[in-house]
Amino acid sequence: MRKILTRDGSETLYSEEYQETYHSVTGAVEEAFGKYVKPCKIESGMNVLDICFGLGLNSLAALHTAKEITITALEKDENVLRHEVKVPEYLREDYKKIRTAAENLYYKDDKAEIKVLLGDARETIKQLNEKYDAVFLDPFSPPKNPELWTEEFFINIKKHMKKEAILATYSCARKVRSNLSKAGFEVKDGPCVGRRSPSTIAIA
């Protein structure tokens, strides 16, 4: 894995294994806010499921937006959790909390709680016994990371969402959207961030 500086000044990683970057090179932090936090309407009091925690930038954007928040994050790669990246100055205090969560798989203060479940998300999702207000779905692309874009996985995600809860993902691939629909989600265009095509929001 090597670091890449994205165009908003924040860093991401390039995965040799998947031959993809962890975020859009147009802006890692911009993507976290624009494609995940904003469409999911993150606000204080929410219970958020972050599927594919990676460097934790989507969780970071959520934590910065809503100080009182509970986040459960799923990630299979222990190695990525050790990587620290550059984030803008205004996010540094919250990033320390994300780093603690990444290192200890847990962080808690009087307002926020973050749990990281290590393992294949198809299995760890079955261990969840809560319902979520918002879900961030951020695997590598469907051709490279197909197991997390299936109808079966989407059905398991939906079981853990409150009614009308929003799932956000960057992909607008036809197959992804049709699997979301088959799993019972209402599928809509999400915002266009850093490119012409929209992201996707799916309502439970």
- Closest to ligand SAM by CB, 96 vs 186, is 96
What does the chain come to in residues? 204
- Closest contact distance (angstroms) between CB of 129 and ligand SAM is 19
Using CB under 6 A, list all residues that contact ligand SAM: 22, 52, 54-58, 74-77, 80, 120-121, 138-140, 145, 147-148
- Closest contact distance (angstroms) between CB of 163 and ligand SAM is 25
Phi, psi (5° rounding) for residue 153? Answer: -65, -40
Residue whose C-beta lies closest to ligand SAM: 54
- Closest contact distance (angstroms) between CB of 95 and ligand SAM is 11
Phi, psi (5° rounding) for residue 136? Answer: -100, 125
- Contact call for residues 192 and 199 (beta carbons, < 8 A): yes
> Quick one: how far is CA 10 from the chain centroid?
17
Strands across the sheet containing 200-203: 106-108, 112-118, 69-75, 46-51, 132-137, 161-169, 200-203, 186-189
- Closest contact distance (angstroms) between CB of 59 and ligand SAM is 7
- Closest to ligand SAM by CB, 37 vs 204, is 37
Question: Parallel, antiparallel, or unpaired: how do β-strands 132-137 and 112-118 relate?
Answer: unpaired
- Closest contact distance (angstroms) between CB of 204 and ligand SAM is 20
Angle between helices 57-65 and 92-104 (to 10 degrees): 130
- Closest to ligand SAM by CB, 61 vs 186, is 61
- Closest contact distance (angstroms) between CB of 5 and ligand SAM is 15
- Closest to ligand SAM by CB, 76 vs 108, is 76
Angular region, 10: left φ>0, alpha ψ -120 to 50, beta rest: beta
- Closest to ligand SAM by CB, 32 vs 165, is 32
